[in-house]
Structure 1
Amino acid sequence: MASDFGKEIGADGLLAAASVLERPGEEFVNDSMIEELWAIKAFEHAEIYFNLLSSVDPKILRLTKLDDQIYKHFREVFAEMNVVSVTEDQLKSAEAKECWRPFCEAYKESVDDYNYATLIRLDSSKEYSEANSIIVPRVQFLAIELARSREGHNDSIRVNFKPKKLQSRS
């Protein structure tokens, strides 16, 4: 995914890009460089998160200080959602967006980068891959992953996968 792009621009380039990406989204037009930088950051987050799942009991993993609130709210709004395996349609269809938008906006002031592009695995029993990942807002990722961890759907990760050495981006 992020492969050679991060190596091409180096550590200084990535640091400069990170500061640019902190600016309001309204300032940007569809710029392929910006999109690629977002993809690199989302991929790096996915690598780190999956290594955590591979190393730590998911039931004790804390993702934010609001984990309990996010999980409770998620299950109130999406009581019937089976988080073992989700589809793009469940997360991004017009109908789904009508439910997800107010859920996500509820965390606009309380969750840092609540709307940040974050990769989520569609099937919780598998690792991140192009076929098993889509980009969602960070709070949507948090809600689903908190449910997966608390409900035992991430338990098999430590058994079936070992932590990987993270690739140096410099």
Structure 2
Amino acid sequence: MLIRLLDIIFAFCGLVVGFPVLVILTIIGLFDTGSPIFRQVRVGRNKKPFTLVKFRTMKKDTASVASHLASASAITPFGSFLRKTKLDELPQLWNVFWGDMSLVGPRPGLFNQEELTAARDKKGIFNARPGITGLAQVNEIDMSTPELLAETDAKMLENLTLANYFKYIFMTVAGKGSGDRIKR
């Protein structure tokens, strides 16, 4: 309950303080791809679908697959900047504010990532809200290793304290972790 309250407070503050940045990135994104906001249905808490919102980092016609299966040539130059700085994640504060996500939790996968969904299902990962960051992200474990990711998510959820909640947020803001791998 406390973590949900913190999520709401931090998401609201982030959206208010970050509003000028969101506007600027949206305008630049318009010139980059013509469609700066990316929406994708993801697997949420209790395996219910929700629409994740991010800044678009890939060309509009890129197939809807996990990042590690997408081609690096699909990433735009501005998208590369957004990924490196993790600014592509900023719009997800809306998802956190509305309760689809938490700031800290397992990254939400796609419904077509059956191996990951099965591994997470065995470990009870779907009992928690998905998150923007977590133990796997700060340790550069991505969706290309489903079993390891599910184990890491389970470990994080078992040991998720208020101290760890802040630790993962600060590590992410400080630049720890590099995001999902991209096929070269």
Structure 2-normalised TM-score?
0.31
Instruction: Specify which structure has the higher proportion of strand.
Output: 2
Structure ID, larger Rg = 1
| TM-score where L is the length of structure 1 | 0.33
